[in-house]
Amino acid sequence: MTLSTATGLSEDEKLEVLRRLDQFRQWHSLDDKRYCLVCGTLISGRQIQIAGGTRGTDPLRLSCPTNKCNAIPMDWVLPTSEILAKVEKLAEEERKASALKSAAATTGNGKTLYADKSHEHFVSRLCRLAFHLKRHSKAVTPIPAGLEPPSGVAG
């Protein structure tokens, strides 16, 4: 049961709750940002969830709005330029990963087709290596039965 502006807290009340419950950092507005050390997300005061306060006696609690993240104010830091650069780098990596996933398409026979040709180049090289190893394994003459070295003796 999360309280938010939609369920009864005005923006001023939410800001007051943030100021009162976050003993680690000051809040000047609901647009202030924090970096969650648990989930690695940049969050604003507007997004932070406020839970509790039912029946007027339960204590209020702040929590990270990210799904399945249980971070509390002590897990949030002010976003420095270094942290913002890290967030941007992670976002860029996610964009690249999703672009690679969307570039691959599965055909009706279960084969995956890749838009970029680097995958085909790798598979081609792997097939040539397998062919090379297979060809050379046939060229090695097997040791006739009875002439193998005794077990435990290196040959």
Joined tokens for residue 23: 């003993």
pTM of the entire structure? 0.55
pLDDT value of residue 118? 57
C-alpha separations of 22 from 45, 80, 97, 154 in Å: 11, 19, 35, 70
Q: pLDDT band at residue 138, thresholds of 50, 70 and 90? A: low
Domain ranges of the chain: 2-83, 100-139
Sign of CA dihedral 30, 31, 37, 39: positive
Identify residue 90 by its one-letter amino acid code: L
- Cα-to-chain-centroid distance, residue 53: 33
Weakest-pLDDT range from 6-10, 15-19, 49-53? 6-10
SS3 content of the chain, % helix, strand, coil (to 5): 40, 15, 40
Cβ contact 30:44 at 8 Å: yes
State yes or no: pLDDT of 85 exceeds 70. Answer: yes
pLDDT value of residue 3? 42
Q: Which residues of 8-33 are buried (b: 16+ CB within 10 A; e: fewer)?
A: ebeeeebbebbeebbeeeebeebebe
Which range among 2-16, 48-62, 133-147 has the greatest average pLDDT?
Answer: 48-62
DSSP-derived pairing of the beta strands 104-106 and 49-52: unpaired
pLDDT value of residue 97? 83
Cβ contact 62:72 at 8 Å: yes
